[in-house]
Structure 1
């Protein structure tokens, strides 16, 4: 595999780009300013390239001959992108539910795609069975290198001279939460609240906070498949003990409707996992009341399409009318 000169490499081989932080005149109201950290503009289509790029470059420097990942979504695509940029082969194991579009994107970046298992857990077990001594396994959310890479978005927010009263983000496995908390802490902003948003059908963080301990859901059921983790990672739970984390939940219908509104208002197509956070702003949620400056991480969604959004809008239309 030869290096791809069309892929940008930043300082220290970081594979992400610095993304815009823009104020939304539509979501801002009165004295409240809503700022959007546009991670949907990352070259792999989501924030994942920040952490996964950091992990892949680190393991490459340590001599990894191949990257192995289990993900049919944003994380797998970020690994494939990083492998192409670093000239390292990638094997991505995806569950049977993975869309054709996702598999096509993975192959576009040169990854070998193996379909195995009915869900992520089964695909993950199969991926682990493929590991050789010279391979590096790239976890989608539970790796300190990922958290360190994701923390860089907070560095960019501070460099823009915007000091938020809260940061809103979506939570699946908790890698983004762990990374943003790391960034806040190292910038001396550890007191700034993080509003962690989930859909009702995948609210593992909320369940853990309610139980007072790290808790696993028996099942997940949500259209926001990027949030469909039965349990957040241990580091995300630790963040809840050291930082102010406010749990928020929205319905699938609210998340999808927010995607539709965001496309109309900002001309950017994002997935329901991202729509979950945006839904708080569109609904003027109580969690955002009394906050003057809010930053929302617009995390993206590499596999989203207008056809998928139309289907989900139809599926949730009755729920929106209730």
Structure 2
């Protein structure tokens, strides 16, 4: 049985070395909040949406496929879209079959990307939990290797390499804003930093999974609604990530769908950055002033995904 003790900075470093030939070291961009109509101050954006498959998820996907024995039946994943695209991409690059289950709320751009990597795409149910149940049945019947989107040690280790990379690129930041769905991303990043920076979790009001878990002291069910439901709306956060969030996430912030739309529009208008709703959520907290940084904070924002269709803001 895996436990959070398996997810250490040392193992994150090892995982980073292993997946390095297969992923991109994504760039950072400095901007001024004054350009967005806020009090002028410099912030840094980590442009992880430029990662292979269009999101940070490629890190966890490669970590799984490179460290676990893959059977002849290949790999199977349930996803709102980004994880499925990442697993499909990693499987294509490594020459193994992939079957990806998604709910019907998955954006067409994400479904198309999954298919483009040669995976077998199966639409099942209306929410991530439905796709997960269908994937688990497929796994049992076909003996494929399941790759969980967030509650898997290898997934957290892979996402933790993004924390390592952010610290390498931006060693002086004091605060990092991170969007949360199932918690694999923020859990891996928190496992890397372990309190060295202030980590702020950002979620949509319609899917406050970590927010409710932190209030309850454990993962609990939450609604799964809103504009970012295909990427930030599982039923609950993972058991493996929760101790890291409990110990190392300084604050949880909720943003509205309108806040997210405004952030998407502002990123496009001011920086020509196209971000999907989940990818823009962290910036929405700053733009809507749901998180207001102190005068001495040096803030970075993680833009984690860009799997969306044509720009229509």
| CA deviations over 1:190-227 (Å, ceiling 9, x no partner) | 2421100011111121122223333212x322111211
Identify unmatched segments of 5+ residues in structure 1: 1-9, 311-322
Q: How does 1:1-322 map to 2 (within 5 A)?
A: 12-14=18-20, 15-26=22-33, 32-59=41-68, 62-65=69-72, 66-131=74-139, 134-185=143-194, 190-217=195-222, 219-225=223-229, 226-302=231-307, 304-306=308-310, 309-310=312-313
Pair 228,286 (structure 1): closer, same or farther in 2 beyond 3 Å: closer
Q: C-alpha separation between the residues in 2 aligned to 1:110 and 1:160?
A: 34
Structure 1 residues 63, 96: CA separation in 2 closer, same or farther (over 3 Å shift)? closer
The offset of 1:258, in angstroms, is: 0.3
**In 1: Cα distance, 2:182 partner to 2:34 partner:** 27
- In the superposition, the TM-score normalised over structure 1's length comes to 0.84
The count of residues paired between Structure 1 and Structure 2 equals 292
| Secondary structure of 1:269 counterpart | coil
CA distance in 2, matches of 1:249, 1:118: 23
| Cα gap change, 1:241 to 1:282, in 2 (>3 Å) | closer
> Would the alpha carbon gap of residues 228 and 142 (structure 1) be closer, same or farther in structure 2, given more than 3 Å must change?
same
* 1:166-188 CA-partner distances (Å, limit 9, x unpaired): 11000110101111012213xxx
Unaligned runs of 5+ in 2: 1-15
Cα RMSD (Å):
2.2
Query: Following the alignment from structure 2 to structure 1, what is the Cα–Cα distance between the partners of residues 213 and 143?
Result: 36
Contact 1:263 1:269 (8 Å CA) reproduced:
yes
Moved more, 173-182 or 116-125: 116-125
TM-score, normalised by the number of residues in structure 2 = 0.86
Q: Is the 8 Å Cα contact of residues 91 and 111 (structure 1) preserved in structure 2?
A: yes
2: CA distance, partners of 1:53 / 1:235? 19
CA contact (8 A) 2:128 2:233 kept: no
In the aligned structure 2, how far is the partner of 1:26 from the partner of 1:191? 24
- Deviation of 1:32 after TM superposition, in Å, equals 3.8
Tell me the secondary structure at the aligned position of residue 246 of structure 1.
strand
Alpha-carbon deviation of 1:142? 1.0
Alpha-carbon contact 1:195-1:287 (below 8 Å) kept? no
Cα shift readout 1:262-283 (whole Å, capped 9, x = no counterpart) = 0111212111112221112223
Contact 1:248–1:287, Cα closer than 8 Å, also in 2: no
| Cα separation, 2, equivalents of 1:158 and 1:223 | 30
d(CA) in 2 for partners of 1:107, 1:94: 12
Kept after mapping to 2: 8 A contact 1:27/1:34: no
* CA distance in structure 2 between the partners assigned to 1:31 and 1:13 by the alignment: 38
CA distance in 2, matches of 1:76, 1:165: 32
